Structure 1
Amino acid sequence: MQGNSKSSDEAPRPSSPLRAPSPRERGEAEDIAIIGGGIIGICAAAFLAEAGRNVTVFDRTGICEETSSGNAAAFAFSDVLPLAHKGMIKNLPKWLADPLGPLSIPPAYLPKLLPWLIRFWRAGAPAKYEASLAAQAGMMKLAEAEWMGLLDRSGTRRMLREDGSLEFYESEAEFRASLPGWAARERFGIGFRHVEGESLADLQPGLSPRFIKGTFVPGWKTVADPKLLGKAIWAYAEARGARFEMARIDRVATDQDGATLTLADGTSRQARQLVVAAGAWSHLLARQLGDRIPLETERGYNTTLPRNAFDVRRQLIFSGHGFVITPLETGLRVGGAVELGGIERPPNFNRSKALLRKAQQFLPGLNPSGGREWMGFRPSLPDSVPVIGKAAGGRSVVYAFGHGHLGLTQAAATGRLIRELVLGQTPPVDLAPFSPQRF
């Protein structure tokens, strides 16, 4: 279900005087099982462990080793516009004409993708705009508050960078087309200012003159490195009793006592409550529980260059080309774009190379050597709103997936909401827009 696991056949480690035996070693059911060791599962584990619950996270490769390890490192709290409302529909024909452009669909995958594309197109209808915008704005407000609290409690605030972001436009027409989106953000109290000339050059020296204007968002935040942050948050959760088991989960089922997880090696685990946070594979598990959720996979590509490749002052957003450049503690990350191609096809790293060539044009003097290419799976729903809620067929199961480009951004908010659902408490936002049954 989740690919090949390196260690799903390993024998359990014997207990030691320094470590309490796990529920499995005691022959008991897990209290709470979380499928998925990405940033969503990590934050859910942290919030539940803080509440005193016994949590075991299952993942096929490790903690923060897959998609959550290689993202663009943004806390994009001002990114409240659903993807269907960002001009993507309008640009679709132009982008699809370029196989290495901001959006590509392998021709052989198009028939399978068509139902999702139709839902995506419908999600862009004006009648749905306000509801989607309000849901995302509320989620982002919660996300910022919960992340700042979690960073402080876990001692990881030092990994936060508050340099803002800078988005670029190559023409007056492109700039004017962006204004309705900025007006929508302004309604929700998101600060920004449009810049040009010397002000633009001061915010990012060395920029190509092809960009005539920009928008600076001072409240935009990034992290030193998403993989390092994820592992640090996990260390905090682990210190509060959370456990990890490397295993691929092939099947899930529920009964009156909770959930049964069947591993790739044929063994099983029992859990009183289950959280499905398996990213791009989550809908396959949800289907086994009776929920058909139209999740698709946006395959994102990047190249991480050495830190000295260029003096990038803050995250740079080239929205007309579908990618960003982020200065990290561990390098300079050039990545983005969207390839709607599912989870089975091999990576097409020509897309990473195409982004890097554009970066060289936009930042003359950028040194492209010594880079490390990467591809990850963004779990995306047609309306750009994640699934957070209880399964239809098993009240002991909670879903937390489908965050698309915003998994890191919304992870702490999702962890808080999962805690409230598991504990039977009232969540701080209305969960109706995030319902797994809304489709």
Structure 2
Amino acid sequence: MADSNTTDITVIGAGIVGITSALELARAGFRVTVLDRKGVAAETSRGNAGAFAFADIEPLATPGILRKAPKWLLDPLGPLSMPPAYAMRMLPWMWKFWRASSARNYAAGVAAQSAMMQHSRAALERLVPRVGGEAMLRREGQLQLYATEAEFRASQPNWAEKERHGIRCTYLHSPAEIAEIQPGLNPCFTRAGFTPDWVNVTDPALWTEHLAQALRDLGGRIERAEVRRLRPTETGVEITTDRGPRHAAQVVLAAGAWSHRLARHLGHHLPLETERGYNTTFPTATVDLRTHVTFPMHGFVVTKIGNGLRVGGAVELGGLDLPPDYRRAKTLLQKAMTFLPGLQGTGGTEWMGYRPSLPDSLPAIGHARATHRVIYAFGHGHLGLTQSAGTAELVCALAQGARPQIDLTPFAPARFTARGGR
């Protein structure tokens, strides 16, 4: 009998990226154990908006964004904020963010993100029938709303970028046209863009748990343990946990916003930060929401979760340790009640999650500097659910020593080192 503390591959992190990767590895024949300090979908994967946002190919670091950022950052409840107590710690990350926003780096980022999105969409369609998951998807599109012609015109470069990369888009030019897709909106919204191929999951936590059960059915194990250190050995990787030592032939590091703390033990000091996102979830829907609704000028969305609704979004660059500021969730909800007049704002549950964000909006997918026995799969920002199936296939290829399905050069963990460039 094999030692229960030894496995072919240990995946660190039971969020959506870790669980989907573990499932793909188990399907390929590896003995897989997942370790997580809290359990399946206990962190950011539990409370996201439930969107497979394959149309979102533009990095956050767009050309000229830093001219707008000071105005946003001075508003503590605006769509992008940074607590003063955290500002100095953010300077190295902001420097790399500024470099990523150059026209050349932005164009390269869009191309890389588009390739990752196309791969991830195809990977999801391969995954869904394997796990009997179609009933858990909503293929209802996404509506982005604008109150003025000027706002709509300003958004056109982003829409043109989507179309250049093969994303279907429809444009609406009056409240009446908008109401045909989503009735009940405030008539102040006079323009909109619609992406009909957008897909949502009915509940991101339940989706992750569904995949976790599929992993168990293939013999994979999921255990509660806090990983404190990784150390390469001649035969694999020694894993120090709060429940004793483990050993694995290979490790996949998919611990989301906490991943960089373990990567330091392997020679990587990655500029991973957190885009703290807030939401309020209602168990029942008080408006007839027919699509995923996005308010891009205000930085939030309203989406269906189960039989209820979730109102959430915004970006707070605040790290892992500062306490939540739930005024942000309340601000988003007040706006949502104005924009969807039928929405009743009582009985909701507030939540904050930590989106793991690298300055160029691309994840780190590749081998650790210290050893090829550790594979990184983290830093997806807002797009962990979206890119989970695609990341899983890439991770599996790396674990097998096969050629990945897309060029991983733009996602290389070493890209932020002095030699790597950005």
TM score, norm. by length of structure 1: 0.93
Match 2:293 to one of 316, 322, 325? 316
Amino acid aligned to 1:145? A
Question: Aligned partners of 2:3, 2:166: CA distance in 1, in Å?
Answer: 47
Q: Is 1:58 equivalent to 2:35 in the alignment?
A: yes
Aligned-partner residue type, residue 23 of structure 1: D
Cα deviation, residue 103, structure 1: 1.1
Unmatched segments (≥5 aa) in structure 1? 1-20
Deviation string, structure 1 residues 184-222 (Cα, Å, up to 9, x no partner): 111111001110221111111111122110001101110
Pair 1:373–1:208, CA change in 2 (3 A): same
Q: Flag the 1:22–1:239 CA change in 2: closer, same or farther, 3 A.
A: farther
- Name the residue aligned to 2:407: 430
Report if aligned partners of 2:63, 2:103 keep a CA contact under 8 Å in 1: no
In the alignment, the residues of structure 2 paired with residue 147 and residue 387 of structure 1 have an alpha-carbon distance, to the nearest angstrom, of 20
**2:312 corresponds to which letter in structure 1?**
G
Secondary structure at the aligned position of 2:386 is classed as helix
Matched, 1:223 2:201: yes
User: Partner of 1:85: helix, strand, or coil?
Assistant: coil
Among candidates 251, 254, 274, match of residue 274 of structure 1? 251
Residue matched to 2:179: 201
Aligned partner letter, 2:3 = P
Identity %: 51
Regions of 4+ moved over 6 Å: none
Deviation of 1:307 (Å): 2.4
Question: Per-residue deviation at 1:269?
Answer: 0.4
User: How far apart, CA to CA, are the structure 2 residues paired with 1:248 and 1:43?
Assistant: 20
Distance in 2, Cα, partners of 1:222 & 1:87: 31
Distance in 2 separating the partners of 1:219 and 1:86: 27
Q: Is the 8 A contact 1:378 1:405 kept in 2?
A: yes
Q: Which of the numbers 388, 401, 418 marks the counterpart of 2:395?
A: 418
- SS of aligned partner of 1:308: coil
1:339 and 2:319 are equivalent in the alignment: no
Q: In 2, distance between residues paired with 1:387 and 1:22?
A: 32
Cα shift at 1:346: 1.3
Partner of 2:50: 73
Report if the CA contact (8 A) 1:309-1:368 is conserved.
no
1:237 maps to 2:215: yes
> Which residue is 2:419 aligned to?
none
Relative to structure 1, is the Cα distance of residues 326 and 39 closer, same or farther in structure 2, using a 3 angstrom cutoff?
Answer: same
What is the aligned length?
A: 415
Give yes or no for contact 1:310–1:366 (8 Å, CA) kept in 2: yes
Offset at residue 270 of structure 1 (A): 0.7
Alpha-carbon spacing, 1:60–1:86, altered in 2? closer, same or farther (3 Å)? farther
Q: Distance in 1 between matches of 2:224 and 2:411?
A: 29
1:210 lines up with 2:188 in the alignment: yes
SS in 1 for 2:168: coil
Note if 1:404 corresponds to 2:384: no
What's the counterpart of residue 379 of structure 1?
A: 356
Between the aligned partners of 2:286 and 2:236, the Cα distance in structure 1 is 52
CA distance in 2, matches of 1:311, 1:209: 16
The aligned residue for residue 277 of structure 2 is 300
Task: Return the match for 1:255 from 222, 230, 233.
Answer: 233
Structure 1 residue 171, shift from structure 2 partner? 1.3
Matches within 5 A, 1:26-41: 29-41=6-18
Q: In structure 1, give the amino acid aligned to 2:304.
A: P
Aligned-pair Cα RMSD in Å: 1.2
How big is each residue's C-alpha offset from its partner over 1:126-184, in whole Å with a ceiling of 9 and x where there is no partner?
A: 01122111100010001001111111100111111110000011111111111011111
Instruction: Specify which of 331, 339, 351 is matched with residue 328 of structure 2.
Output: 351
2:146 corresponds in structure 1 to 169
- For the pair 1:48 / 2:28, whether they are aligned, the reply is no
How far 1:93 moved relative to its partner?
Answer: 2.3
- The one-letter code matched in structure 1 to 2:227 is I
Match of residue 23 from structure 1: 3
Name stretches of at least 5 consecutive residues in structure 2 with no aligned partner.
Answer: 417-422
- Cα drift, residue 115 of structure 1: 0.8
- SS of the counterpart of 1:143? helix
Q: 1:318 to 1:130 in 2, by over 3 A?
A: same
Task: Look up the equivalent residue of 1:208 and give its one-letter code.
Answer: N
Report the alpha carbon displacement of residue 92 of structure 1 after superposing the two structures with TM: 1.4
Query: Residues 368-404 of structure 1, C-alpha deviation per residue, up to 9 Å, x if partnerless?
Result: 0110111110000000000000001011100000000
| Corresponding residue of 2:117 | 140
Shift of 1:118: 1.3
SS of the aligned residue for 1:298 comes to: strand
- Distance in 2, matches of 1:88 and 1:208, equals 29
Question: How far apart are 1:88 and its partner, in Å?
Answer: 4.5
Q: Once structures 1 and 2 are overlaid, which stretch shifts more, 329-338 or 87-96? A: 87-96
Deviation, structure 1 residue 347? 1.2
- Supply the distance in 1 between the matched residues of 2:119 and 2:56 (Cα, whole angstroms): 13
Q: SS state of the match for residue 84, structure 1?
A: coil
Are the equivalent residues in 2 in contact too, given 1:225–1:330 (CA < 8 A)?
no
One-letter identity of the residue aligned with 1:298: E
Instruction: Choose which of 181, 184, 195 in structure 1 pairs with 2:158.
Output: 181
TM-score between the two structures when normalised by the length of structure 2:
0.96
Deviations 1:222-277 (A, max 9, x none): 01000000000111111111101100111111121111111124x11011100000
Counterpart-to-counterpart distance in 2, 1:90 and 1:368: 35
**Which 10-residue stretch deviates more, 253-262 or 405-414?**
253-262
